Chains A and B, each alone.
Chain A
Amino acid sequence: MPSRAPRERVLLVDSQDESRRAVQLLLQGCGMEVRAFASAAAAMAEATLDQIRTLLIARDLVDGDAIHLLRQLAQRGWQGRAILIGQSHAELDDAARAAGFAHVVKKPVGRIELLGALAR
């Protein structure tokens, strides 16, 4: 039996349970391995950060915000593509771009929009 190709691992951080869980199911349904956390602190403790190439972070978190978390993760040496989950596309502002966010997807996150952002 051929060995299964390694799946893309995604780090998902969103303090809103419903939104986070919906995105997690969506991503796993697309064959990705998802590490989902409700807080920035839990995400910062992620041990497999070096295996993660994609971040999906909600703009507002229960213990911080996406920009701060992304900067902290970058300081830990993380490199990859970061996608912001926001209430509007305008949230991908200069500060978010400067922090490293390349795309934004709007809540509630639609399947097509999310896959489009991941495909870019």
Chain B
Amino acid sequence: MNFPLPQFETPAPVALRDRMRQRAPEALATLLLLVSGLALAPLVSRGERYVLVGVLLAWAAAILLLASYSRALRRRLRAEEADARRRADRADELAAELNLLIDGAVGYAIYTVDPLGRVSFWNEGARRLKGWGEEEVLGRDMALFYPPSAVAAGKPRADLDAALRDGKFEDEDWRLRKDGSEFLAQVLITPLLGPDGRLRGFGKVIRDITEQRASERQATAAANHLRSILATVLDAMVIIDERGNILSFSAAAERLFGYAEDEVVGANVSLLMPAGDGARHDGYIRHYLDTGERRIIGTGRTVTARRRDGTTFPIELSVGEAITEGERVFTGFIRDLSDKQRAEQRIEELRSGLIHAARVSAMGTMASTLAHELNQPITAVVNYVRGVANLVEASDAQDLPMIREALDDTAQEALRAGTIVRRLREFVARGEVEKSVEHIPDLVDEACKLALIGAREKGVAAEFRFDPHAGPVLVDRIQIQQVLINLMRNAIEAMAEMPERRLAISSRVESPGFVRVTVADTGPGVAPAVAEDLFRAFHSTKADGMGLGLSICRTIVEANGGRIWLEPREGGGSCFHFTLVHVEEGNSP
């Protein structure tokens, strides 16, 4: 703040009458001198008269000069007196304003101490901050404001010495209030030197910064806490502002994307996306800010990200939004799905391999039975052909009907063998799930052609009960037939030692949208303890089983949208149920 300096005032113009009045004494003295001269003139000689005139004129001139000089001196004296009065008034005014300014400085204690450290000036701010009134502290040693430990260490004097030595002393230290409570003070001590360079005392400006430093420490602690979380959290975390610029980049993000935080902070987050997505991202943010419509915020989504080396990889991205002090930030949590997708792909491969292995294994166990089954039509074909050959050789026209019938039977037997081979090929062939609308009786009928080979010879009686309302199902025909074959062959094996060997395959409407198929046997049943793990892989009740059959069955059934479970059969034995997705006629996809 600049105060205007006092100015000398221009003297007001003096009126002619005043001026004549001021000059009347000198005019009168000059006149008297001249009159005296004229009176003395007749008394002296002519030569002396000239001398007298000269002396009188000299005296008159001297009188006028002295009078003029005297007036000038008086004027100057008066002006200086007036100026001194104005300066004194202005100084008082300035002092008052300065005191108001000092006292009004909220939060600041401003006071002075003499060279020995005794308080010599104390402002209202000092009273507010420290609690002492002016009358209580004037003349007291400033050590009063220091904690006892600091006084014991000689800090009050050391602070003044430092200020004198370095021209000023700045510090942050603890100070006492009158009531004994402490506050953290920002201290500025300035030596006050007179014009002669002599030390007149020290000026001290004190501010309470406890709150400020506490807030800073709190903010630092919070920031460190956040940073430690960012450094340790497994998921990568990227924080961006409304413009899409990166504000924070976690250690996991650094590892995932190959960028250091320093490199990406301030850059647009599109840097981490494939070119197409990156170009659209700013538009996504703008759309959200304009409409409030959330598309990804608050939810998770699988998207593609781009590493520093340009390679892309799948991520699961969850975005949260926070508004702090009017500033909106978006926090993205990123989980790398590369490993998960690789693992899922591997599991799928293994599962597919297991199914294939099980098919091959099942075929191997059935090979001998199949050979027997195939042997029957082939033997029949051979016998028919030989018989026909003999009849042809006899060339008897009466044999023609018999030859024709024998050739028809031969063809039927050959077709039967071909059908067995074709089904075998279909069964072994590994393929993707290809769902089609199928009727349960047809599925069971075809499965039975393989599953029941040799069953009759083992004394197994098969029964079929199909609910006419258990309409068509949407399934992979080959896979579901494999389930049926597996269940039926298990049932046949289970009943091998039982006196009663009845295999029942049935269907009925389950809950809406599902059809239940049941394969029941009169075997010994499954112990409850075993039943729990029955559908787990590598769990078998057979001495030579791998424990894959029912596990694969479950996999297939679930892949076809159903479920599979076991229940004990009433009267003994087991009932294996599985459900399939029911479709209405004409609704096939």
Residues on A close to B: CB < 8 A? 17, 20-21, 24-30, 34-39, 41-42, 45-47, 111
Query: Which chain A residue lies CB-closest to B149?
Result: A17
Contacts A20-B182, A37-B180, A111-B221 known; 13 new A-B pairs at CB < 8 A: A24-B182, A25-B184, A25-B214, A27-B214, A29-B218, A29-B219, A29-B221, A37-B181, A38-B182, A42-B179, A45-B180, A46-B179, A47-B179
Q: Cα distance A45–B221 when bound, in Å? A: 33
Chain A residues contacting B313 (CB-CB under 8 Å) are none
Out of B147, B179, B180, B210, name the residue touching A25 (CB < 8 Å): B210
Contact B147 A38 (CB under 8 A): yes
Set of chain B residues within 8 Å of A47, measured between Cβ atoms: 179
Chain B neighbourhood of A24, CB < 8 A: 182, 210, 214
Nearest 7 A-B pairs (CB), nearest first? A29-B218, A42-B180, A28-B214, A29-B214, A25-B214, A36-B182, A29-B217
User: Contacts of B339 on A, CB cut-off 8 Å?
Assistant: none
- The interface residues of chain B lying within 8 Å CB-to-CB of A37 are 180-182
CB distance from A101 to the nearest CB of B (A): 22
Check if B213 is an interface residue, CB within 8 A of chain A. Answer: yes
**A25-B210, A28-B210, A38-B147 known; A45+B179 contact, CB < 8 A:** yes
B interface majority secondary structure: helix
In the bound assembly, the distance between CA atoms of A34 and B182 in angstroms comes to 10
CB distance from A52 to the nearest CB of B (A): 12
B174, CB-defined interface residue at 8 Å? yes
Asked if residues B214 and A39 are in contact (CB atoms below 8 Å), the reply is: no
Q: Is the CB of B217 within 8 A of A25?
A: yes
- Tell me, in angstroms, the Cα distance from A30 to B181 when the chains sit together: 19
- Chain A CB within 8 A of B262 CB: no
Determine the residue in chain A with the shortest Cβ distance to B213.
A25
- Between B147, B148, B214, the greatest number of chain A beta carbons within 10 A of the residue's beta carbon is seen for B214
Closest-by-CB residue of A relative to B210 is A28
* Minimum Cβ distance to chain A for residue B182 (Å): 5
For B174, B181, B210, B218, which residue has the most chain A Cβ atoms within 10 angstroms?
B181
17 CB contacts below 8 A, A to B, read A20-B182, A21-B174, A24-B210, A25-B214, A28-B210, A28-B214, A29-B215, A29-B216, A29-B219, A34-B210, A35-B181, A38-B148, A38-B182, A42-B179, A42-B180, A42-B181, A46-B179
CA distance A29 to B219 in the complex (A): 8
Alpha-carbon gap, A62 to B311, bound state (A): 67
**For B216, what are the chain A residues with a Cβ–Cβ distance below 8 Å?**
29
Contact of B182 among A21, A27, A30, A45 (CB under 8 A): A21
- Which residue of B182, B210, B221 has the most chain A CB atoms within 10 A of its CB atom? B182
Bound Cα distance A111, B181 (Å) = 22
Q: What is the CB-to-nearest-CB distance from A37 to chain B, in angstroms, rounded to a whole number?
A: 6
Q: For residue A26, which residues in chain B have a CB less than 8 angstroms away from its CB?
A: 214, 217-218
**Closest Cβ–Cβ distance, residue B186 to chain A (whole Å):** 14
B211 an interface residue at 8 Å Cβ cutoff? yes
With contact pairs A25-B213, A38-B147 given, residues A17 and B174 touching in the complex (Cβ less than 8 Å)? yes
Whole-angstrom distance between the alpha carbons of A35 and B179 in the complex? Answer: 10
Residue pair B179, A21 in contact (C-beta under 8 Å): no
Which residues of B sit under 8 angstroms from A17, Cβ to Cβ?
147, 149, 174
Which residues of chain B in 146-161 are interfacial with respect to chain A, using CB atoms and an 8 Å cutoff? Answer: 147-149
**CB <8 Å contact, A30 and B180:** no
A42 to B184 CA separation, bound complex (whole angstroms): 18
B181: A residues at CB distance < 8 A = 35-37, 42
Binary interface profile of B, 217-256, with partner A (CB < 8 Å = 1, else 0)? Answer: 1110100000000000000000000000000000000000
The docked-state distance in angstroms from the alpha carbon of A30 to that of B182 is: 18
Chain A residues closer than 8 Å to B184, beta-carbon distance: 21, 25
Bound form: Cα–Cα A115–B382 in Å: 96
**Considering the chains assembled together, what is the distance between the CA atoms of A47 and B184 in angstroms?**
21
Cβ distance B254 to chain A, nearest Cβ, rounded Å: 27
By a CB distance below 8 angstroms, the chain B residues around A45 are 179-180
Of A21, A29, A41, chain B has the most CB atoms within 10 Å of the CB of A29
Closest beta carbon of chain A to B579's beta carbon, Å: 53
Q: Which residues of B lie under 8 Å from residue A27 when comparing CB positions?
A: 214
CB neighbours (8 Å) of A41 from chain B are: 180
Query: Nearest chain-A residue to B180 (Cβ)?
Result: A42
* Complex Cα spacing A39 to B219, Å: 30
Q: Smallest distance from the beta carbon of A39 to chain B beta carbons, Å?
A: 7
A17-B149, A28-B210, A28-B211 as given contacts; A39 in contact with B217, CB under 8 Å: no
Contact with A along B517-531 (1 / 0, CB 8 A): 000000000000000
**How far, in whole Å, are A34 and B184 apart by their CA atoms in the complex?**
12
Cα separation A45 to B179 with both chains bound (whole Å): 7
With A25-B210, A28-B211 as given contacts, are A39 and B174 in contact (CB-CB < 8 Å)? Answer: no
Taken together as a complex, chains A and B put the C-alpha atoms of A26 and B210 apart, in Å, by: 10
Once the chains are docked, how many angstroms separate the CA of A34 from the CA of B213? 14
Residues of A within 8 A of B215 (CB): 28-29
| Assembled-state Cα–Cα distance A100/B7 (Å) | 73
CB of B132, distance to nearest CB on chain A (Å) = 15
Separation of A30 and B215 alpha carbons in the complex (Å): 8
CA distance A67 to B180 in the complex (A): 21
CB distance from A21 to the nearest CB of B (A): 6
Q: Name the B residues within 8 Å of A39 (CB-CB).
A: 180
Bound complex: CA A39 to CA B74 (Å): 70
Closest CB of chain A to B201's CB: distance in Å? 29
Which residues in B have their C-beta under 8 angstroms from that of A111? 221
Residues of A within 8 A of B149 (CB): 17
Residues from chain A with a CB closer than 8 A to the CB of B210 are 24-25, 28, 34
Residues of A within 8 A of B182 (CB): 20-21, 24, 36-38
Min distance, Cβ A9 to any Cβ of chain B, angstroms: 12
Q: How far does the Cβ of B150 sit from chain A's closest Cβ, in whole Å?
A: 9
Q: Is the CB of B214 within 8 A of A38?
A: no
B residues 138-197 in Cβ contact with A at 8 Å: 147-149, 174, 179-182, 184
Cα separation A27 to B211 with both chains bound (whole Å)? 10
Which residues of chain B come closer than 8 Å to A35, judged between CB atoms? 181
CB distance from A120 to the nearest CB of B (A): 20
CA distance in complex: A99, B179 (Å) = 26
- How many angstroms from the CA of A36 to the CA of B177 in the assembled complex? 10
CB distance from A113 to the nearest CB of B (A): 13
Point out the residues of chain B lying under 8 angstroms from A30, CB to CB: 218
| A41 to chain B: closest residue by CB | B180
Residues of A within 8 A of B218 (CB): 26, 29-30
- Least Cβ–Cβ distance between A49 and chain B, in angstroms: 12
In the bound complex, residues from chain B placing their C-beta under 8 Å from that of A25 are 184, 210, 213-214, 217
